[in-house]
């Protein structure tokens, strides 16, 4: 069971768990902003570009 969970984690998250955590956090922020009734569509594109940029910066070091 543990090895299956590890395999699924490696398959989906890969070697960059920080980005995965960032995606989850961005979805949470989107949900909170949307719940207030304000426009929330912009949160994910901004977060995705920022997460990709940070991930690439880590990889390029």
Least separation in angstroms between CB 3 and another protein: 15
Site string for another protein, 7-46 (x = CB under 8 A): ----xxxx-x--xx--xx-xxx-xx-xxx---xxx-xxx-
3-state secondary structure 2-50: HHHHHHHHHHHCCCCHHHHHHHHHHHHHHHHHHHCCCCCCCHHHHHHHH
* Three-state secondary-structure class, residue 58: helix
Note the residues at the interface with another protein (CB under 8 A): 11-14, 16, 19-20, 23-24, 26-28, 30-31, 33-35, 39-41, 43-45, 48-49, 51-53, 55-56, 59-60
């Amino acid at each position: 069971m543990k090895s299956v969970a590890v395999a699924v984690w490696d398959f989906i998250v890969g070697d960059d768990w920080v980005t995965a955590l960032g995606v989850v956090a961005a979805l949470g922020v989107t949900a909170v902003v949307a719940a207030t009734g304000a426009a929330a569509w912009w949160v994910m594109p901004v977060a995705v570009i920022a997460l990709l940029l940070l991930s690439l910066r880590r990889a390029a070091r």
